[in-house]
Structure 1
C-alpha cells in the first residue's frame, strides 16, 4: 500500500511505485461548496455560511448537455468565467467544467447611498454589453389527449387562411424554432378532426420567449 500525503506530495516516492491511497485532508470535514471559498480561515464563521448559501443559489453552467435536456426550468449563465483566486478543491473537482460566476471589478466607496447594506450600483454600459446576462430554459409539455373536451382526436395543424402567424407557427402547427414569441401571441394551433375548427393557443406570462427546440413524442 502506497499512501500519498494529504497535501498532494509524494514524499520522494519513485515512479515505479505510484500511490494507491491518499490521506484525508483536514478540509474534508467541510462540504464541497465550503471548500471553494478562498481564505475561509480569515473570515468569520457566519460569513462562510452565507457564502455557502449564496454559492448554491448562483446562476452558472448547470450541464454540458443542455441542448438535449428537458428540465422543467434551468438557468444558464451566458458568459461564465473561471475565478481569479481558487482553492485546491476547485481544481480537484474540475469545477472549471461547470463555472458558476463572473469576475467583476468592485469599488468599495461611499457614493449616493443606493449601495447601502447588501445593495450595489452596477455600471450600465457593462450590463448593456452583456455582464451577468443569463438564459432561462423552460420546457412546456403539450398533451393533446388531455386538452380535448370530447372523445374526438385532435392534431397539430395550421389554418391555411391565417397569414399573421407565418413567422411563429410552422406549417405543421407547431412553433417555429428560432423565432421569438411575445406574451399573448399565438405560437401553436390545434385542429379538431370532427368539426374542422382550428384553435390557436397564445403564450402566457409577461416576458417574451425564444423557441429553442421542438420534439414530438407519440404513439401514432
Structure 2
C-alpha cells in the first residue's frame, strides 16, 4: 500500500487534521520556506501528533549539529535532506544520528535518479527540479523518467486529488509526498487532507 506523507505542517489545526486522516508521515520544514517552523514550535506539534504517524524533518544544507540536536530532542523520526548534501555529508550525519534518511532529488533526467541511488540513504524523494528553490514548487515533472529505482522512494511535486491516482498508477512509488496540493491560500486545509488520504486508501483497498 502506498505510504502517504503530508508535508509542511505549522499549526495545531494541521495536526488535528492529520490525526483524523492518519497519513503515514508528516513533514516539518526547518529550512528557509514559507512553511518553515522553529524547533520549539515543532516539538509542541509533535507532542500532539498521533503516535501512529511518523514525523519527518526537512533540511537544506543544514549544519549537522543542528539536525542531531533536533533528533535528540525527539522532534522527528526521520531526516529529509533537500539541498546539495553529498556522500561525505551524509556519512557524517549518519555517524551522529540513528534515524532513517530521505534524500530529495530534483529530477531532470534518469541520470539524476541513478546518481542519487549511490548515496547512503534509506529513501529517495523524487521532486520537480528548480534552479531557484529546493523543492516546494507545486509543479509536476515527467513521471515517465522514473523507471527502475532500486531504493524505495517518495514521489513529490505538484500532487493533488486530481492527479494523485494517476501518479501512483504510473510510477508505483513507495510513498507520495503532498504539500501545496492540500492547501488553500498557503495553509493546510483539513477537507483537502481528508479527501486525498481517503481517495488513496479507498482506491487501493479495491485492488
Normalised TM-score (structure 2): 0.19
Larger Cα Rg: Structure 1 or Structure 2?
1
Query: Comparing both structures, which one devotes a greater share of its residues to strand?
Result: 2
Query: Comparing both structures, which one devotes a greater share of its residues to helix?
Result: 2
Structure showing greater relative contact order (alpha-carbon pairs closer than 8 Å, 6 or more residues apart): 2
